[in-house]
């Protein structure tokens, strides 16, 4: 029983704030990693998916993921600020 609870807890934590994890782990040095999941989710909620590219997350799912990404991005600041310190957005 304890093993199944652990699996459920790890699965739940893996799907929370998924845009944050995807964006932080992406190998793109040209993009600031600070609050990348929150920014991506907010953009998807506001504008939807661009027609030219495949949609990673539909608008309703992005709305659910937005607060989770905010929490995850806040926790990841200790990693994202040092790795993005040399990058400045216009």
pLDDT confidence of residue 39 = 93
pLDDT confidence of residue 63 = 86
pLDDT in tens, the chain (90 residues): 456 655 554 455 555 677 887 888 888 888 889 999 999 889 988 988 877 666 767 788 888 888 989 998 998 899 888 887 665 555
Q: Are 78 and 33 in contact (CB under 8 A)?
A: no
Distance from C-alpha of 44 to C-alpha of 6, rounded to nearest angstrom: 32
pLDDT confidence of residue 27 = 80
pLDDT confidence of residue 7 = 54
- 30-45 CB burial, b ≥16 within 10 A, e <16: eebbbbbbbbbbbebb
């Amino acid at each position: 029983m304890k093993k199944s609870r652990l699996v459920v807890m790890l699965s739940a934590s893996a799907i929370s704030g998924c845009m944050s994890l995807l964006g932080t782990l992406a190998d793109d040095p040209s993009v600031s990693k600070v609050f990348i999941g929150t920014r991506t989710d907010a953009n998807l909620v506001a504008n939807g998916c661009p027609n030219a590219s495949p949609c990673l997350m539909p608008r309703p799912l992005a709305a659910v993921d937005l607060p989770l990404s905010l929490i995850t991005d806040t926790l990841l600041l200790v990693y994202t600020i040092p790795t993005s310190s040399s990058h400045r957005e216009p």
